[in-house]
Structure 1
Amino acid sequence: MILQRTELCAHLHTLLEVDKFKDYCPNGLQVEGRDRVRRVVSGVTASQALIEQAIVLGADTILVHHGLFWRGHDGRVTGWMRKRLGLLLQHDINLLAYHLPLDAHPQWGNNVQLGARLGLVADTRFGEQQLGFLGRPHADLFHPDTEGLQRAADGTLQFAGAQSLASHVTQVMGRQSLLVEGHPGPIDRIAWCTGGAQGYFEAAIAAGAQAFITGEISEPQAHYARECGVAYIACGHHASERYGVQALGEYLASQWGVEHQFVDIDNPA
């Protein structure tokens, strides 16, 4: 099947409802390469390491969450920008990037994909542009012997406490999570928003969360957690945003017949 770049870009623009979002980066095609798309490499960030790996894999298109261009950059093509752009242009590779539209998408988005891996299903959205998710542990997504998970008197699932939830997040993510304890008892109302969403914590508290999961933490959030009694779990910006772009790439492979490979460039942040 021959997929034209213009056709792919138009499809993703509609699928991800790009026009709904106020973002601080361009969503969609950021660097133009070959007209035809046959082999897609996806990754979290358009780093030099990801671009180099895509070249090795023979990709004509790279699909990422974090692209090259952001509001506030001065626009000069020097240093790291020159190296990344030079590789893309030299090898005629398309770069497609989707930021907030990929965070929010109800099927392929970062938040819904992270929730599925953590066993959480959202019933409410909150925060600016409705990017935050709030929900509960879902029985169908858990092994019955999951440590720290228990049933409440009404039969719903809950974690025994913040430590149990943080341990579960650590196990699923494959990296140590940072926990600031808040709620002293069982937890069943959990909010989450991937990446650098520490600014959503107050909205999560107002929405009725007993715990909030995101990628990063800043200094104020520790105080809010302790003073408001809502646990805060930071599990890594990169780690929390590995899943949306991967799911979107797999969708493209099944829908359009292109080859797809997700490349996870390790990042401790």
Structure 2
Amino acid sequence: MSTTRQALLQAFDTLLQPTRFQDYGPNGLQVEGRVQIRKIVSGVTASRALIEAAIAAQADAIFVHHGLFWRGQSGCVTGWMKQRLALLLRHDINLYAYHLPLDAHPELGNNAQLGLQLGLQASGRFGEQDLGFVGERTDGGSFASAQALAQHLEYVLNRPVVQVERAPAAIKKIAWCTGGAQGYFETAIAAGADAFITGEISEPQAHYAREMGVAFLACGHHASERYGAPAVAGHVAAQLGLAHAFIDIDNPA
């Protein structure tokens, strides 16, 4: 089966509602390709490696969280930008990108899907544009310590975790926001979290964690955002009768 470029855009927009968000770049169809679409490849970032893998997979469209265009970047089509665009245009592949809308979707988004992977159930939202999730373990239990939570993250995500320790105590209420959401830490503390999980850590957060007694855990920007894109693209592909494949391009960040 196949669909059209515009019908696929409408399906993504209907699901993710990009007009609700003030974002750092354009959401939706970023690069126009062929009209008829039979196969979607999803990934985290529209890197050259992902584009080349999509070409090898004979994809008609790519769906990503991190697209090509961002507010404040140079408008020059040179270097890496030229290389990526040239590949997309030469092979007539559509590029769809959704940033904050993909983070925020309550069931299929990055935060919802990370919670699912970690066995966490959200009971509320916090932060700018309600992007952050807060809740507890789905089994109603707690983690014995911040170290126990860090070990759980490392096991599930298969990568090291940067942990700023809190005083030994059980972790019951957990806040999380994927990617570069370290700036949400103070809001997570205000929401009553015992621990905050995100992708990255910057210099101030270690001090906040030690002074406020709330654990901060950085599990990797890419690692925390591997789950939303395939969930959304797979859902829409099934809805429209399209083929779908997720391609995970490894990234240590």
TM-score (norm 1): 0.93
Moved over 4 A (4+): none
The whole-number CA distance in structure 2 between the counterparts of 1:17 and 1:259 is 23
The whole-number CA distance in structure 2 between the counterparts of 1:119 and 1:39 is 31
Residues 43-192 of structure 1 mapped to structure 2, 5 A cutoff: 43-139=43-139, 156-192=140-176
Q: How many residues align?
A: 253
What percentage of aligned pairs have identical amino acids?
A: 65
- Contact residue 183 and residue 211 of structure 1 kept, 8 A: no
The whole-number CA distance in structure 2 between the counterparts of 1:2 and 1:258 is 6
1:183: how far off?
4.4
Tell me the alpha carbon deviations over residues 34-81 of structure 1, each in whole angstroms, 9 at most, x when there is no partner.
101101100000000000000001011000000000001110000000
- Contact residue 121 and residue 138 of structure 1 kept, 8 A: yes
The whole-number CA distance in structure 2 between the counterparts of 1:62 and 1:184 is 45
The whole-number CA distance in structure 2 between the counterparts of 1:107 and 1:207 is 21
Tell me the alpha carbon deviations over residues 13-44 of structure 1, each in whole angstroms, 9 at most, x when there is no partner.
12101110000100000000010110110000
Q: Does 1:224 align with 2:208?
A: yes
Residue of structure 1 in register with 2:25 after alignment:
25
Task: Tell me the secondary structure at the aligned position of residue 9 of structure 1.
Answer: helix
Task: Tell me the secondary structure at the aligned position of residue 142 of structure 2.
Answer: strand
The whole-number CA distance in structure 2 between the counterparts of 1:61 and 1:88 is 9
Residue of structure 2 in register with 1:149 after alignment:
none
Task: Tell me the secondary structure at the aligned position of residue 159 of structure 1.
Answer: coil
Task: Tell me the secondary structure at the aligned position of residue 121 of structure 2.
Answer: strand
Residue of structure 2 in register with 1:148 after alignment:
none
- Contact residue 43 and residue 226 of structure 2 kept, 8 A: yes
Indicate the larger mover: 210-219 or 243-252: 243-252
Residue of structure 1 in register with 2:35 after alignment:
35
CA RMSD, 1 decimal: 0.7
- Contact residue 183 and residue 210 of structure 1 kept, 8 A: no
Residue of structure 2 in register with 1:243 after alignment:
227
The whole-number CA distance in structure 2 between the counterparts of 1:5 and 1:253 is 13
The whole-number CA distance in structure 1 between the counterparts of 2:127 and 2:98 is 20
Residue of structure 1 in register with 2:189 after alignment:
205
Task: Tell me the secondary structure at the aligned position of residue 136 of structure 2.
Answer: strand
TM-score (norm 2): 0.99
Residue of structure 2 in register with 1:259 after alignment:
243
Task: Tell me the secondary structure at the aligned position of residue 158 of structure 1.
Answer: coil
The whole-number CA distance in structure 1 between the counterparts of 2:167 and 2:233 is 38
The whole-number CA distance in structure 2 between the counterparts of 1:137 and 1:227 is 25
